[in-house]
Structure 1
Amino acid sequence: MAGQTRHTRPPRGFMRAVLICPPLHSHLRAFEALARAWTRKGHEAIFLTEPGVVLEGDMRQAILPGPVLRPQSRTLLAEILAGARRTDRLCRDAPALLRDLSPDLILGDQMEPASGLLARALGLPLASIACAVPMDPEPGIPLPFLGWPHDTSAQGLKRNAGGERIAGLLLTPQNRVIRHWARHWGLGDLGRLQDCLSSDLTLSQIAPGFDYPRPANGGHIVQLGPFRQGQVTQDFPPDIRPDPARPFVYASLGTLQSHRAGLLARIARACRQAGVQVLVSHAGSLTDGQAGRIPADWVRSFVPQQAVLARAALCITHAGLNTALECLAAGVPMLALPLTHDQPGVAARIVQSGTGLRLHPWQRGSNRIADAVATLLADENFRARARHFAAEAASWGGAAGAVDAIEARFSPRRSAQAS
């Protein structure tokens, strides 16, 4: 759809939502699941994106003016700079599009502060979407990129405050953009990503009971589990035939980190030391030569992950939230090797929930990985805790539950405005 096209307002009782999400694969897929559930209830969903963002299915899209951005580097600094430019572009170009679209609310990814700035500037309700670990501040909970435990003691609060100061320095480019547009629109003293979150409603993909407790500020957070749950029927690869007499282990570092051939090779050697069979998936990030040097029983570019987890005794993972949630839904314990972004925070929650172990970067030699694999397979408590989550997975709200929460929170407000 053209960004300048004016749409007639939906029938009374229904809502038009604009969805704002960074162009990250897992975030886009979660938002698409949310949009499908939203439109099934008779509402309207319109994605506000940069040029070049391709959505799956029949998704309505309003595209910002200007050129397609170049692919960004995998380095942290490059990601921060690209995020700051994206926020600035949205704040500069989106207001005219939003006024034309006349939405009833914004559904904004927590990792894109422009969604909160735009909602405040235009007087629109905002629901924050936590595709990753929720960013909502809570005493005792460190920022998601820190793998620290939940700690409300004076020492824990001091440590978390230090982590936030360091994060503020790292995110200076983004914080500068936030402050500029907050001043420009007269929104008050907003200067960091957390200041741009919704205080009304956060919809979190985290599984109920997996996050740290949030008694002080978490009343507006709804834990729903993955938005995409139950949407795909998968068959186990017929050319992979695990020996039922030996444990079968699945190893994956996710879509963005599977280029780490050395770590994947150490994982495979460790599994051999532990006497287990291992399937390694590298998400198409390795050449045939690199993949051929990984001493695993099977090495594949891609596999149907849910079908593989249904047979696995253990998953060795980078602790991406999507993979962790799929493991919980399948009742599979995890060995977490966090690498970047919110993965340390996910790994810490794996440990505190009793569903697995974590190894820090300095602990990732083959011997240490092999010992951890052996411990996880020998101690039934890890599998029992994972199976506890699996037993509850059918009750997770997912995308449909997210829509129910949005309607419950914002529909009365819209009715009052219409009357």
Structure 2
Amino acid sequence: MTVKRRHIAIIAPPTAGHINPLAALGTSLAEAGRQVTVVHMADVASLVPDCGVGFAPLDHPADCQGLLADYYRKLAQPSGPVGLPRMIRGTASMTELLLKALPAALSRLGVDAVLADSVEPAGALVARHLRLPFVTAVTGLPLLREPTVPPPFLGWAYRPGAVGRNRNSGGYAVSDLLMRPITTIVSAYARRWGLDPDPRHQWSDRLQIAQCPAGLDFPRTALPQSFRYGAPWRLDEPEEHLPENDGRSLIFCSLGSLQGSRRSLFAAMTAACAAVGARAVVAHGGGLSDREAHSLPGNPLVRAFWSQTRVLPRCSAAILHGGFNTVLDALAAGVPIVAVPLAFEQPATAARLKRIGAARVVSAAEAGKGGLEPALRLVLGDPRYRHAARLLGTDMAGAGGAAEAAAMVDAALFDDADVRPAGPIPSDGKAACAA
């Protein structure tokens, strides 16, 4: 008699920054005997690495093709009075698509449990609707509110006194107003399904597992008992064979997979590296053409992607936009950072890096006016920056990474018999696409 493997669905935003660490976590779960599947629209299949994790598309027609590319265009310009509301509306549409199509998809797949990224509320809500156990995966900064902790999308310093609390309260009020397109959709589906719409239910009371190390976050006093800090969730990357060293130190430069088309900012980075006698190693995520890549000053090493965990240990510093995964990889390698935050949680991540002394923060405007060179000289010349990065890297090395996190996820999901298959719920794929 064949015993069915417990089946875990990963529900996450359709970006590499979320899919990659969750695929690493899912691979460790698969190695422990679970079946793990990323579930999203068909175009997302290309984001899932070739590992122990499967992929299943939502049931929607072919005319949904192009939706992902359109969403990426909105994510690439996520700020300003036009770009920010447009990006939020696009994210709300993506959440609505999942809410419409996921119940039927998870039922069809025979899913037993859900691993829900904290940034995508559809995962937790659909799990509650189908009475499936779920764990919250925190791939970026923890989003849990506390009066002394600023909103996670603002680059404010940690100020625990009355002034800081009042400022944070105002920041959360503005954040709630901006996020209303998303929260309105989620609340409507919760009520439709007879569920409490309180957003606190988005967080699992079984386990909230983060790849963020405790030492990077601001001090917290009200974390739920189910919350656990951790270390990066990574798949093994192949060795990188760099060209023969020309005697210069290496500086890793990245703007992630969504902002990599900013040729002028990359030029400022590579020029700053050349000015301090170093050579830039540029990862542009496919955002630059060959002509643009070859035109960057300072004779940098340029590719769309590098094996970050292999290259960063060879570098003396990194110039980064503050994307969470690359920041963690730099810290794991003990590499000090010049942070140039652009959007999303990047300013908040930069504020935390500044607080622990592992980075200098330079605005994009300052970077375009020559501000990167003095910041880079400082993090290279002052050993305290490298010391702070190495200290946190040592802490992360002892935290276990994806394997230890997977063991906690497995125990939280399957430590009892409360695992029920999702019942068949009809769904109109055409309606899902209309989101």
Q: What TM-score results when the alignment is normalised by the length of structure 2?
A: 0.85
User: CA offset at residue 17 of structure 1?
Assistant: 1.6
CA distance in 2, matches of 1:56, 1:292: 28
User: CA offset at residue 377 of structure 1?
Assistant: 1.3
Q: 1:295 is paired with a residue of what secondary structure?
A: coil
CA distance in 2, matches of 1:367, 1:97: 51
Determine if contact 2:334/2:389 at 8 Å carries over to the other structure: yes
Structure 1 range deviating more: 277-286 or 256-265: 277-286
Residue equivalent to 1:85: 93
Q: 1:364 is paired with a residue of what secondary structure?
A: helix
User: CA offset at residue 108 of structure 1?
Assistant: 0.5
CA distance in 2, matches of 1:413, 1:204: 23
The one-letter amino acid paired with 2:166 is: K
**Superposition pairs for residues 22-37 of structure 1, below 5 Å?**
22-37=13-28
User: CA offset at residue 103 of structure 1?
Assistant: 3.3
**Superposition pairs for residues 356-375 of structure 1, below 5 Å?**
356-375=359-378
CA distance in 2, matches of 1:214, 1:412: 28
Residue equivalent to 1:173: 181
Structure 1 residue 297 and structure 2 residue 299: aligned? yes
CA distance in 1, matches of 2:253, 2:55: 36
Residue equivalent to 1:61: 55
The structure with higher relative contact order (CA 8 Å, sep 6+) is 2
CA distance in 2, matches of 1:63, 1:274: 48
Residue equivalent to 1:52: 43
Determine if contact 1:128/1:198 at 8 Å carries over to the other structure: yes
Q: 2:43 is paired with a residue of what secondary structure?
A: coil
Structure 1 range deviating more: 379-388 or 70-79: 70-79
Identity %: 31
Residue equivalent to 2:390: 387
Q: 1:401 is paired with a residue of what secondary structure?
A: helix
Structure 1 range deviating more: 150-159 or 320-329: 150-159
CA distance in 1, matches of 2:420, 2:180: 39
Determine if contact 1:18/1:107 at 8 Å carries over to the other structure: yes
User: CA offset at residue 52 of structure 1?
Assistant: 2.3
User: CA offset at residue 308 of structure 1?
Assistant: 2.5
**Superposition pairs for residues 183-198 of structure 1, below 5 Å?**
183-190=191-198, 196-198=202-204
Q: Deviations over 1:146-194 (max 9, x none)?
A: 111223322212212222222222222212211211111122243x5x6
CA distance in 2, matches of 1:342, 1:146: 7
The one of 223, 241, 244 equivalent to 2:245 is: 241
Residue equivalent to 1:273: 275
User: CA offset at residue 327 of structure 1?
Assistant: 0.8
Residue equivalent to 2:334: 331
Q: 2:291 is paired with a residue of what secondary structure?
A: helix
Structure 1's 416 and 177: CA in aligned 2 closer, same or farther, altered over 3 A?
closer
**Superposition pairs for residues 178-257 of structure 1, below 5 Å?**
178-190=186-198, 196-228=202-234, 231-237=236-242, 239-243=243-247, 246-257=248-259
Residues matched between the structures, number? 402
Residue equivalent to 2:106: 98
CA distance in 1, matches of 2:244, 2:174: 46
User: CA offset at residue 252 of structure 1?
Assistant: 1.6
User: CA offset at residue 274 of structure 1?
Assistant: 3.1
Q: 1:286 is paired with a residue of what secondary structure?
A: coil
Residue equivalent to 1:5: none
CA distance in 2, matches of 1:158, 1:232: 45
User: CA offset at residue 87 of structure 1?
Assistant: 1.6
CA distance in 2, matches of 1:304, 1:103: 33
Structure 1's 199 and 161: CA in aligned 2 closer, same or farther, altered over 3 A?
farther
The one-letter amino acid paired with 2:20 is: R
User: CA offset at residue 328 of structure 1?
Assistant: 1.0
CA distance in 2, matches of 1:169, 1:242: 53
Q: 1:120 is paired with a residue of what secondary structure?
A: helix
CA distance in 1, matches of 2:272, 2:110: 56
User: CA offset at residue 9 of structure 1?
Assistant: 6.5
CA distance in 1, matches of 2:380, 2:96: 49
Determine if contact 1:104/1:414 at 8 Å carries over to the other structure: no
The one-letter amino acid paired with 1:330 is: A
The one-letter amino acid paired with 1:30 is: P
Structure 1's 300 and 354: CA in aligned 2 closer, same or farther, altered over 3 A?
same
* RMSD (Å), alpha carbons: 2.4
